[in-house]
A and B are shown apart, each in its own frame.
Chain A
Amino acid sequence: MARKTKSISGVDLTQIIKPRSVAVIGASEKEEKVGHVIMQNYLDVGFQGPIYPINIKAQEKIMGIQAYKSILDVKKPVDLAVIAVPAEAVPHVLEQCGKAKVKGAVIVSGGFEEVGRKDLQDAIKTISKKYRLPFIGPNCLGIMDPRSRNDTLFLPTSKIDRPKIGGVSFVSQSGSVGSSTLDLISGEGFGLAHFISYGNAAVVDEVDILNYLADDPETRVIVFYLEGVQRGKEFIEVVKKVTGKKPIVILKGGETPSGVSAAHSHTAALAGSYEAYKAVFRQFGLTVAEELEELLYYAKVFETQPLSTGNRIAIITNGGGHGVIATDALYRNGLMLPNLSRETEKSLRKAMPKIVNIAMPMDLGGEADAKRYQAALEILENDPNVDGFMVITLFQTPGADESLASAIAKFATGRKKPVVAVSTGSTYTRSHVSIMEASGIPVYESPTAAAKSLSALIEYSRYKEESAK
């Protein structure tokens, strides 16, 4: 915990993300209170450090834990204060946190600038500055850090699944987009490094958060839902720093109509605010998602697959039609099929039964089993003309069963070339998809989603290579 990550604005998020001790201000025995849910979650996820429930009306204990009327009564070091009291009371409570030398806060309470109470928001900003007490929020869900089991979300564990531990950090300006997407992430094959919902960004903003994640060894991929930035120039500086190291997948909400009527030139009329954001994302190597589901598509390919600047993708399939659709999807997304080397063709001819036509996309036949897939993949892997794989496994066919899912999983593990799989289907298919995803292969329901994801991976790989020159 010695790592100190000072951001451009000098905010250190370490104590907020990975606190050693937590105070829940607004903790309550009453189940309907936000402070109760937050307490319950800390107990459910098994936070290891001391927890201090604070409530002005506190008697002896809250939820079985020694409680205090004020943070000033705790008299022990507190890294993080989670503040869940009515907005009007927040300035007073925050001031006390400052006096108690709390290192950071998450203010989940709403009722600030988002409802026109700029005065209240300004008040807590001033207090933050006075005591050098950074906080996330207000009006946010805050932090979930599965490694340290820090969890300020006021969403009961019974209603939203907690994702497993992994390398994807998910940052969301919005709480609702954050929580629903988080729930979806827990159903995916990849795991979470940190979840950060930062709401009104009164003090800690996107620049501070990205700056922390840039140097954070636990974060391999950043997924971001953004509505707007507050410091454009600093944002550019920090994303440049991040994308030189790791990918950022971003969804920008709030598509402002361009073609402002007050524009004085063609240029100003063409390039509105949304276009400017998109241009910045493109110029500095961010991967743009157009929809929520694309955030997940791209996150899982980045989290699990190696980078590749080559765009020649071998397609193997046990359904001819899917091979055709997948080929279209490749070319539509700037990818192409490889020209197989003579040697590869010869080896494949030897290994495959007569009914298999040795050409790209390669249809292994409806009866293709694990062995046939494995043989084809191993030969193709050694072809220098092949940069990556799209493996289509339709589990409705007679040859496809659990051993096929396991064989694909085994093949894809630790490859130097990216592999994505496509499996379209319902119940039977889904159970096999989980086998593959559990071992770290991104599986997509459609060839289009798979092709888009490979394309995003390749585009970022090229950006990274170019920008390193």
Chain B
Amino acid sequence: MADSPSLMSYDAAQKLAAKYGIKPIKSQYVASADEAVRFSEGKPIALKGITPKAIHKSRNGLVSLNLYNEKMIRDSFSDLSKKLAKLKPFKILAQRMAASGTEIIIGGKVDPQFGKMLILGLGGIYVEAFRDFALRVCPITGRDAHSMISQLKSRSVVAPDKETERMLEDLLVRASKLFMGSNAAEMDFNPIIIHDAGYDAVDIRIMV
């Protein structure tokens, strides 16, 4: 095994994704509660503790959702800071709240035998419970993307209509290109929230 991979900074990961036309939801690291309040511009936001010590942010209580007023933002910021003190190094990410929809995961890994592979799965808390996912060797074609979606048991939930399906196929091909075009060893877009035939990429993690 080579050295253990390191997590690309959220900003760098965002920029890399944007280069391949994958637009993440508006977000920014905040160093203080004041900064978080300014970022919110009066709209609901989420605060997330980012630390290499915990990949399961929600399981570790590092995610506060739907903070729609100043007091909530300040309380949650100080609460998160306390929890994270034990999980250094850490950062706090402020994000606009995504619309509600179906959570999926798109990710990449390097298989020791076959090289870079792309995954699509039902996301969020269901990932490991249902293990409903499709895997392909990169680069994938549009046809591969199509067959990945139809392979899912949850296909009618993930892509309820033709428009969503096309959007998702396009997104998968972009993710494959991103993965092939970068030196990433692992990547997780988790969750991506699918709604109204569009998506919000809420969390991006790229390990290099």
Bound-state Cα–Cα, A233 to B115, Å? 8
Could you tell me the distance in whole angstroms from the C-beta of B178 to the nearest C-beta in chain A? 13
Contact A279 B188 (CB under 8 A): no
Question: With A270-B119, A270-B128, A273-B113 in contact, is A236–B108 under 8 Å at CB?
Answer: no
Give the residue name and chain of the A residue nearest to B105 (CB).
Answer: A266
Bound-state Cα–Cα, A280 to B114, Å? 8
Question: With A232-B115, A233-B115, A466-B143 in contact, is A268–B137 under 8 Å at CB?
Answer: no
Contact B55 A264 (CB under 8 A): yes
- Residues from chain B with Cβ under 8 Å of A325 in the complex: none
Q: Which of B7, B55, B112, B134 contacts A266 (CB 8 A)?
A: B55
Contact A236 B119 (CB under 8 A): no
**Chain A, range 6-43, C-beta contacts under 8 Å to B:** none
Q: Which of B1, B117, B121, B188 contacts A276 (CB 8 A)?
A: B117
Output the residue of A267, A283, A466 with the most chain B CB within 10 A.
Answer: A267
User: Is A158 positioned at the interface, with any CB of B under 8 Å from its CB?
Assistant: no
Contact A283 B136 (CB under 8 A): yes
Give the residue name and chain of the A residue nearest to B118 (CB).
Answer: A267
Interface string of A313-355 (1 = CB under 8 A from B): 0000000000000000000000000000000000000000000
- Residues from chain B with Cβ under 8 Å of A278 in the complex: 135
Bound-state Cα–Cα, A264 to B107, Å? 12
- Residues from chain B with Cβ under 8 Å of A266 in the complex: 55, 105, 107, 127-128, 188, 190
User: Is A438 positioned at the interface, with any CB of B under 8 Å from its CB?
Assistant: no
**Chain B, range 1-15, C-beta contacts under 8 Å to A:** 1, 4-5, 7
User: Is B70 positioned at the interface, with any CB of A under 8 Å from its CB?
Assistant: no
Give the residue name and chain of the B residue nearest to A272 (CB).
Answer: B111
Give the residue name and chain of the B residue nearest to A229 (CB).
Answer: B113
Bound-state Cα–Cα, A123 to B162, Å? 59
**Chain A, range 140-165, C-beta contacts under 8 Å to B:** none
- Residues from chain B with Cβ under 8 Å of A277 in the complex: 113
Contact B5 A267 (CB under 8 A): no
Bound-state Cα–Cα, A263 to B134, Å? 18
User: Is B144 positioned at the interface, with any CB of A under 8 Å from its CB?
Assistant: yes
- Residues from chain A with Cβ under 8 Å of B1 in the complex: 262
Interface string of B92-108 (1 = CB under 8 A from A): 00000000000001011
Bound-state Cα–Cα, A232 to B137, Å? 11
- Residues from chain B with Cβ under 8 Å of A283 in the complex: 136-137, 144
* Chain A: interface size category: 20 to 34
Q: Which of A228, A236, A271, A282 contacts B109 (CB 8 A)?
A: A271
- Residues from chain A with Cβ under 8 Å of B144 in the complex: 283
Could you tell me the distance in whole angstroms from the C-beta of B157 to the nearest C-beta in chain A? 18
Give the residue name and chain of the A residue nearest to B185 (CB).
Answer: A264
Question: With A232-B113, A280-B137 in contact, is A267–B143 under 8 Å at CB?
Answer: no
Contact B114 A267 (CB under 8 A): no
Q: Which of B111, B114, B205 contacts A265 (CB 8 A)?
A: B205
Contact A267 B187 (CB under 8 A): yes
Contact B114 A233 (CB under 8 A): yes
User: Is B131 positioned at the interface, with any CB of A under 8 Å from its CB?
Assistant: yes
User: Is B207 positioned at the interface, with any CB of A under 8 Å from its CB?
Assistant: yes
Contact A232 B109 (CB under 8 A): no
Bound-state Cα–Cα, A220 to B143, Å? 27
User: Is B199 positioned at the interface, with any CB of A under 8 Å from its CB?
Assistant: no
- Residues from chain A with Cβ under 8 Å of B169 in the complex: none
- Residues from chain A with Cβ under 8 Å of B135 in the complex: 271, 275-276, 278-279
- Residues from chain B with Cβ under 8 Å of A228 in the complex: 113
Could you tell me the distance in whole angstroms from the C-beta of B135 to the nearest C-beta in chain A? 4
Give the residue name and chain of the A residue nearest to B190 (CB).
Answer: A266
Could you tell me the distance in whole angstroms from the C-beta of A280 to the nearest C-beta in chain B? 6
- Residues from chain A with Cβ under 8 Å of B207 in the complex: 264-265
User: Is A269 positioned at the interface, with any CB of B under 8 Å from its CB?
Assistant: yes
Q: Which of A232, A267, A279, A280 contacts B186 (CB 8 A)?
A: A267
Bound-state Cα–Cα, A235 to B137, Å? 12
Leading 5 A-B pairs by shortest Cβ distance: A267-B107, A232-B113, A279-B135, A232-B114, A276-B111
List 7 contacting pairs A-B, 8 Å CB cutoff, sorted by A.
A233-B115, A264-B186, A267-B187, A271-B133, A279-B117, A279-B135, A283-B137
18 A-B pairs besides A266-B128, A267-B187, A271-B117 with CB distance below 8 A are A263-B186, A264-B7, A264-B207, A265-B187, A265-B207, A266-B55, A266-B188, A267-B109, A267-B186, A268-B186, A270-B107, A270-B119, A270-B121, A270-B128, A273-B113, A276-B114, A279-B136, A282-B151
Interface residues of A (CB under 8 A from B): 228-229, 232-233, 235-236, 262-271, 273, 275-280, 282-283, 466
